[in-house]
Amino acid sequence: MDFTHSYREVFPADVLDRYDWLETRNASAIVEATNAEQFGDLVAALRAFAVDPALDIFPTGGNESNTAARLNAGLRDRGWREGSYTVALTAELRMLAYGEDEGAQVLPIENEAASYLIDNIKGRIAVDVEWHAKDGNLDRDLAAYRSLYNEGIIDAAAIITMHRAEMRAWARRLDPETTKFNTSTTTNLEKVTPRLERGDSGGCPVLIVAVCQRTV
């Protein structure tokens, strides 16, 4: 899938300059045109965030790192909420009657096919924060976007993550002995790029915003 560059046209220069960007299907322009309030929220949250080495580079993670918590708070303070999306398959087995005295039997069958947790959703836009988590989370996120888009629930989605190579260089500059960000199998710009190239998000327009050394 080819990447587009509508973010260059719609995001303010001060926000554009502080992050690295990637998108498919003109995601930025679609969010700005169809969900103006949500676009404004995203701009405000990105503008307010700045990397603090004491919080974002050297502490260990946990269920939700300081970085992810702060990025999520920037949206939830503006009305975004965590969402759970479940896909269920419903079927019916009809046992036909045999003989005059026997009625047909209907056996309902329900199976849960998939369940996805979205970090932030408001209106018709979904945003996940993926900060140095297991890179399998990206597969989950993109599969959720594909399903939500196909069902007509969202118009576009975004992932806020990191540019790992830049963050690793920054950490080593501050502490040459650190092993922070050495692990490559985490959620980052480098890992999501090939997933978008091969079309894992289906028809859903997706924007990637990556924290980097300019996010100060």
- Where exactly are the structural domains of the chain? 7-84+118-211
Helix, strand, coil proportions of the chain in percent (round to 5)?
Answer: 35, 30, 35
**77 close to 44: Cβ distance less than 8 angstroms:** no
Work out the percent of the chain whose per-residue pLDDT is above 90.
Answer: 79
User: CA 61 → CA 24, 66, 154, distances in Å?
Assistant: 30, 8, 30
The continuous run of DSSP H or E covering 112 comes out as: strand 105-122
| Claim: this prediction has a pTM higher than 0.85 | yes
Position 61 scores a pLDDT of 52
Average pLDDT over residues 50-69: 82
Task: Provide the phi-psi class of 110: left if phi over 0, else alpha when psi is between -120 and 50, else beta.
Answer: beta
SS3 183: coil
Q: Which of 109-113, 167-171, 204-208 has the lowest mean pLDDT?
A: 109-113
DSSP 134: B
Radius of gyration of the chain (CA): 21
User: CA 187 → CA 41, 160, 164, 169, 181, distances in Å?
Assistant: 23, 10, 9, 17, 11
Sequence-ordered list of residues with C-beta below 8 angstroms from that of 9, at least 6 positions apart, any chain: 28, 29
Q: What is the pLDDT of residues 161-172, one digit of tens each?
A: 999 999 999 999
CATH-assigned architecture of domain 7-84+118-211:
3-Layer(aba) Sandwich (3.40)
